[in-house]
């Protein structure tokens, strides 16, 4: 086990905020990553994540693909810090 990291993820695009919030929660649950959506608007989704680095990366990839008619135009992952 490589330990865990925390990160901040920002998605910019065209979103159904409710659908994206549910999508993030479902994928985080499947990957056993802690994810907290802190901003969910029609043009921006921001979340904080915590988990094993490869699983956090997998969640970021899933978010980049977005469900249904949601479109991600830009994705930024920052503050990738090891957690105690």
Q: With a cut of 50, say whether residue 1 has pLDDT above it.
A: no
Are 67 and 45 spatial neighbours (Cβ–Cβ below 8 Å)?
A: no
Are 82 and 50 spatial neighbours (Cβ–Cβ below 8 Å)?
A: no
35: its two tokens: 């994810």
Per-residue pLDDT band for 2 (boundaries 50, 70, 90) equals low
What's the pLDDT at 79? 75
Per-residue pLDDT of 5-51, as tens digits, reads 999 999 999 999 999 999 999 999 999 999 999 999 999 999 999 99
Supply the pTM of this predicted model. Answer: 0.90
Q: With a cut of 80, say whether residue 68 has pLDDT above it.
A: yes
């Amino acid at each position: 086990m490589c330990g865990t990291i925390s990160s901040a993820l920002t998605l910019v695009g065209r979103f159904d905020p409710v659908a994206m919030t549910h999508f993030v929660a479902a994928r985080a649950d499947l990957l056993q990553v802690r994810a907290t959506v802190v901003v969910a608007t029609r043009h921006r989704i921001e979340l904080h994540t915590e988990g094993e680095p490869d699983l956090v990366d997998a969640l970021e990839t899933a978010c980049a693909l977005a469900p249904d008619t949601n479109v991600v135009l830009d994705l930024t992952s920052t503050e990738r810090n090891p957690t105690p």
